[in-house]
Amino acid sequence: MIKQNIEEEINNQIQEEFQSAYAYLAISAWFEEKNLGGFASWLKAQWQEEIEHGMKFYNHLIQRNGRPILQDIEKPKVQFDSPRKAFELALKQEQHITKRIHKMYNLAREEGDYPLESLLLWFIDEQVEEEEMVQDIIDKLKLVGEDGSGLYLLDREMGERQSQGGKETE
């Protein structure tokens, strides 16, 4: 039987993952408005990954006879000053998720919840990849600045991302 405090934390994390997905979708829409379809496509793939992350927690609760309780999702920010600012927000969101995952891992260890610990080890590794990937995009955006041709080329590169079971292919 899953402990109530663990169940509550997992339900909170489901909300956080879906909130992240919603934010990525909003950022994608902003890039669509700017005719930067490659960025928009990359962000939609990220939206899909965040949904999958939320579902991993949902399924974990179901498998352990817990009760998923879906919570409200807030309206995300929809306007940005630049592509770089949009991705800086994405990085901030990923860093927030990383802190929550670490907090949950500590709770799982304190409570002796080995199944949750096991699940969270995957998420810990995933968050390292997520933060690195977004930081890499920010670094590239810093390099190209507001240069139209550089942004165009980066947009093309971003559009080449293929989501495949949560992993990118090149």
Q: Give the tokens for residue 148.
A: 């139209």
Distance CA 86, CA 49 (A): 18
Place of tokens 């810990």: 124
Asked if residue 102 belongs to a known ligand binding site, the reply is no
Please give the backbone phi and psi of residue 73, each rounded to the nearest 5 degrees, phi first.
-115, 125
Distance CA 141, CA 114 (A): 41
Q: State the greatest distance between any 2 C-alpha atoms of the chain, in Å, as a whole number.
A: 57
Asked if residue 94 belongs to a known ligand binding site, the reply is yes
Distance CA 132, CA 147 (A): 24
Return the DSSP state at 163.
E
Asked if residue 53 belongs to a known ligand binding site, the reply is yes
Distance CA 25, CA 44 (A): 6
DSSP reduced 3-state for 155: helix
Amino acid at the residue 170: E
Q: Which residue ranges are tagged as binding site for Fe cation? A: 17, 50, 53, 94, 127
Q: Which residue ranges are tagged as binding site? A: 17, 50, 53, 94, 127
